[in-house]
Structure 1
Amino acid sequence: MTKPVSEIEARHSLGLRVIAIYEVIKTLCLIFVAIVAFGLHKEQNFDHLVYVLEHLSLQDSGGMRWRLVGLLEDMGPSKFMAIGIVALGYAAIFATEGIGLWLRKHWAEWFTVIATGSLIPVEIYEVFHKFNWLKLGALIGNIVIVVYLVRIAMQPHGRKSP
């Protein structure tokens, strides 16, 4: 027995809304990263962060703080402008996806499939190169999103916007 069209539409609408919210969360996180990166581009802010990290009175059992300090010193403040620009670029892409999906635009489904799907090979490499559970979760989540959106996008779109 087939489900009524309105029930299927409602379920797809909910799925698109959940993905749209996920895209907006990624957008906000990347805007935050960009703001921090642009702030660290200034020499005095960068030096202050390194100083604070070097003088924290916390026990650093895994040496992570010192690896972070070393990474920051290797990068220097000049690379943070590029990091901020890249973060804003990705934020714009994710915002476009999120808004388009929220408005249930057919182009947004394919745009998200292409944008998200194009990063899956890089994510697979990252999972196998330097495994951690967060990377694996992101990879699985993005694969699920791509498969779901391809299924939605390939259906007839005679629907009206809500």
Structure 2
Amino acid sequence: MSQPHHYNPDPHAHPGLHIIALVEAVKGALALLAASGLELIGPAPLQRWVHELIVRFQLDPHHGVIAWLIGAINPGGIHLAALIAALYGIMHLLEGWGLWRAKAWASWLGCVTVSLYLPFDVFALFKHPGWLSLVVVAINVAVLWVLARDLLKRRR
């Protein structure tokens, strides 16, 4: 009996690319859902939810992040947030598709984005040490290693 042949556009591609591709596709789909949700519900329910948070946790609505959030929840702010979420989602869906198909540009895109997130993750680890912060840093380092390894193998 012969072994089934699996399609792999690059025989040197690391099998971890498919796992990363799936995660990126899920992140992209969730971001598109969030963008759609923002557009569908609009600012009024968000303003009510923020007001409920202020009352429940006795927050100061005139200073800090809460004051900024209150000011940002308007039709223009919601449209901008939805646009940013949609662009983020599309980028991650494209990256996921590219990684699934073992495209070099997708590995480059992944390396760049993980490299941008990593300093913030390391900062968070030192600011709020704990197993969750450590796991986030470890996962991002592993993703960077898989993507960089894929690019190095392609150069040979």
Same fold (TM over 0.5): yes
Given the two structures, how large is their TM-score scaled by the length of structure 2? Answer: 0.68
1:18–1:135 distance in 2 versus 1, CA, 3 Å = same
Q: Which runs of 5+ in 2 are unaligned?
A: 1-5
Which residue of the other structure, out of 69, 77, 81, is the alignment partner of 1:75?
69
Q: Tell me by how many angstroms 1:24 deviates.
A: 0.7
Q: What residue in structure 2 maps to residue 91 of structure 1?
A: 89
The structural deviation recorded for 1:29 is 2.1
* Cα deviation 1:103-155 (Å, max 9, x = unaligned): 11112111211121122112212232344544432322111011111111111
The worse-fitting range, judged by mean Cα deviation, of 14-23 and 66-75 is 66-75
Post-superposition offset of 1:82: 3.9
The farther-off stretch of 17-26 and 85-94 is 85-94
Report how many residues are paired.
141
Q: Which residue of 1 aligns with 2:57?
A: 66
Q: What is the rounded CA distance, in whole Å, between the counterparts of 2:41 and 2:59 in structure 1? A: 14
Q: What's the C-alpha RMSD, in Å, of the aligned pairs?
A: 3.5
**What whole-Å deviation, never above 9, does each CA across 1:45-87 have from its counterpart, x for those lacking one?**
22443466689xxxxxxxxx62789665651213544433332
Q: How does 1:6-155 map to 2 (within 5 A)?
A: 9=11, 12=14, 14-39=15-40, 41-42=42-43, 44-50=44-50, 66=57, 75-76=69-70, 77-78=73-74, 79-131=77-129, 133-155=131-153
Tell me if structure 2 keeps the 8 A contact 1:106–1:153: yes
CA distance in 2, matches of 1:72, 1:37: 18
Sort the Cα spacing of 1:47 and 1:119 in 2 relative to 1 into closer, same or farther, 3 A: closer
Aligned mates of 1:68, 1:91 — CA distance in 2: 32
SS at match of 2:105: helix
Unaligned 5+ runs, structure 1 = 1-5, 56-64
Q: 1:36 to 1:135 in 2, by over 3 A?
A: farther
User: What fraction of aligned residue pairs are identical, expressed as a percent?
Assistant: 22
